[in-house]
Structure 1
Amino acid sequence: MEKHTGAEVLRYTAFSSHPSGGNPAGVVLDAAGLDDAALLAIAAEVGYSETAFLTAPPEGLGGEPGRAFTARYFSPLAEVPFCGHATVATAVALAERIGPGDLVFATPAGTVPVTATADASSGALRATLTSVEPRVESVSGEDVAEALAALAWQSAELDPDLPPRIAFAGARHLVLAAETRARLAALDYDFERLGTFMRRLDLTTLQLVFREAGTVFHVRDPFPVGGVVEDPATGAAAAAFGAYARELGLVPDDARLTLHQGDDLGRPGLLEVELHAGDPRVRVSGEAARIDA
């Protein structure tokens, strides 16, 4: 636990049961009275890809008393509309204090229900978020070419069965699929050029993907617009990718996808993505662990 300008800041990692894996997030369970400048300053000082800040819920949000909140997310450089890993981390932090169960977060991207559960045998906590309604958009050949140039990738290195698209499930992500695991592993990009490109298209990350098997993928997420070279485990991008996979018919209408992320950074994480026929929303699940316990 740390104190920043009067706020108690917790540190958790999401999508891993161990502090050395997954994606670290700052969590402020009571951000009442802090203005935007203070929120950004705290996020910058914490230094993680995102820090989540909770305040009282807006009127009419719903949910059980004491289990509904307004949630905002800041990278070290700017506010982002939604952050999946910080949502999972926050839900587990809350579950440790008020018990497992259903939560509701009012985010800038929309209302996000979250359920925190405890394993019956080990007691380990995990959280499942339900995304806002997603969408998938085409992307121009010129924009794909610019993204590839910034990545130093060749178009021939892309998987033709997973075409480029922009996917949204709370934030916008450009999905690019590598044909080989080696291409995905060798990530060394032009930070400024990619950041400029992403700001022009209002992208939060690139969702770089390699398909290992039918529903098993390896992913990496450059995040220069947040001041971070790479996000180790990205829940918002995982939700967007679930929508992408369904839209393109890559998986059945009812499917559970497994996303491995962070292995190339030495911070392995596991993200589970659920798709349900008849429900356009995407569910993303993972464990979380306290870093400074």
Structure 2
Amino acid sequence: MTPLHISSFSRGDSGGNPAGVVISDRLPDPDTMQQIARELGYSETTFAAPQGGGWKVRYYAPVGEVAFCGHATIALGAALGQQNGAGRYDLHLRDDDITVEAMQVGTDWHAALQSPATWSKPMAEDLLLALLSYFGLSQDDLDPAFPPTLGFAGVRHGILALKDRSKLAAMSYPFDAMQALMLDHDLVTVSLLHFRSPRAITSRNAFASGGVVEDPATGAAAAALGGALVDLEWDGLQEGGQFSISQGEDMGMPSELTVEVTGTKGGSVRVSGAARWMNASQ
């Protein structure tokens, strides 16, 4: 039961978001999974075991279980592809059933997840004001084209869009206070975005709820954003289409996520990217 170390949504031989992947005949008990995730120290570690014709999957952050994690699903898909061949794999999560597709591109592995169902709604004023305070932002820093939003794709995310790229680059926050706020509001992450164009987005993602300051690539938040943009009828996405997210640049971990939507409100969202294997010391 040796963990694999795989970085998802990488750019070539660099960047991406590292995840632990443990594939075994049966899932370890919850305490063991938590201990492994804590020792690895990645934002999430995924555990998978055969179940029927698919795979039973659980995700653990260093401080607890997470219902769904995008980048760890991409890492798992790439690992299953390398071990069992390209194709689609059915995943039975704690709260949902989803799929991941493994694809080989030359010698590299890519994967694409289909998220749980999505929803979005306007962010409550009290939560918005607290987030602005913690990030050191004001209402004037927000992009008026994208309203502050709560998005869901397996887990809940806060989503704020900023007018100025430099404000995004300067992202910081008081960790303990943000962690408490996120837990109070059942937020797994908070995404700060900058729209370089309607379908090219730069993102940073706070993950204090999981015991990590920031994720360099966040597939679950990307799926939630896809659902929210469909709900907002953003740039014709109510007819379906795709957009890209660049993340991790300000951390020195450049990452690329491709997001595809059907245009159906509440529908599943496809999030894809490359995966690279890492050494245990990385």
> Normalization by structure 1: what TM-score?
0.91
Aligned twin of 1:80: 66
For 2:87, give the aligned amino acid: G
Among 3, 21, 37, the alignment partner of 1:27 is 21
- Kindly indicate whether residue 101 of structure 2 is the aligned counterpart of residue 115 of structure 1: yes
Q: Are the aligned partners of 1:109 and 1:132 in contact in 2 as well (CA < 8 Å)?
A: no
Aligned twin of 1:15: 9
- Kindly indicate whether residue 127 of structure 2 is the aligned counterpart of residue 133 of structure 1: no
For 1:208, give the aligned amino acid: L
Aligned twin of 2:91: 105
Q: Alignment partner of 1:289: what SS?
A: strand
Q: Are the aligned partners of 1:19 and 1:291 in contact in 2 as well (CA < 8 Å)?
A: no
Q: Are the aligned partners of 2:219 and 2:271 in contact in 1 as well (CA < 8 Å)?
A: yes
Among 37, 40, 50, the alignment partner of 1:56 is 50
Using a 3 Å threshold, how does the CA distance of structure 1 residues 215 and 197 change in structure 2: closer, same or farther?
Answer: same
Q: Alignment partner of 1:203: what SS?
A: coil
Among 87, 93, 97, the alignment partner of 2:79 is 93
> Structure 2: where are the runs of 5+ without partners?
none
Deviation for aligned residue 1:35: 1.1
Q: Are the aligned partners of 1:15 and 1:269 in contact in 2 as well (CA < 8 Å)?
A: yes
- Kindly indicate whether residue 20 of structure 2 is the aligned counterpart of residue 36 of structure 1: no
Aligned twin of 1:245: 229
> Structure 1: where are the runs of 5+ without partners?
1-6, 60-64
Q: Alignment partner of 2:123: what SS?
A: coil
Aligned length: 277
Q: Alignment partner of 1:281: what SS?
A: coil
Q: Could you tell me the percent identity over the aligned residues?
A: 36
Among 152, 160, 165, the alignment partner of 2:144 is 160
Per-residue deviation, residues 58-112 of structure 1 (Å, max 9, x unmatched): x6xxxxx4xx101100000010000000000011011111111010111123011
For 1:191, give the aligned amino acid: F
Q: How many Å separate the matches in 2 of 1:278 and 1:23? A: 29
Per-residue deviation, residues 9-42 of structure 1 (Å, max 9, x unmatched): 1100000154530100000011725211111000
Q: Alignment partner of 1:96: what SS?
A: helix
For 1:27, give the aligned amino acid: V
Q: How does 1:216-255 map to 2 (within 5 A)?
A: 216-252=200-236, 253=238, 254-255=240-241
Q: Are the aligned partners of 1:31 and 1:53 in contact in 2 as well (CA < 8 Å)?
A: no
Q: Are the aligned partners of 1:8 and 1:30 in contact in 2 as well (CA < 8 Å)?
A: no
The alignment's C-alpha RMSD in Å is: 1.4
Aligned twin of 1:146: 130
Q: Are the aligned partners of 2:44 and 2:60 in contact in 1 as well (CA < 8 Å)?
A: yes
Among 261, 264, 270, the alignment partner of 1:275 is 261
Using a 3 Å threshold, how does the CA distance of structure 1 residues 116 and 154 change in structure 2: closer, same or farther?
Answer: same
Extract structure 1 runs of 4+ deviating beyond 4 A. none
Aligned twin of 1:70: 56
- Kindly indicate whether residue 252 of structure 2 is the aligned counterpart of residue 266 of structure 1: yes
Q: How many Å separate the matches in 2 of 1:156 and 1:113? A: 40
Q: Are the aligned partners of 1:191 and 1:229 in contact in 2 as well (CA < 8 Å)?
A: yes
For 1:267, give the aligned amino acid: M
Aligned twin of 1:284: 271
Q: How many Å separate the matches in 1 of 2:235 and 2:40? A: 38
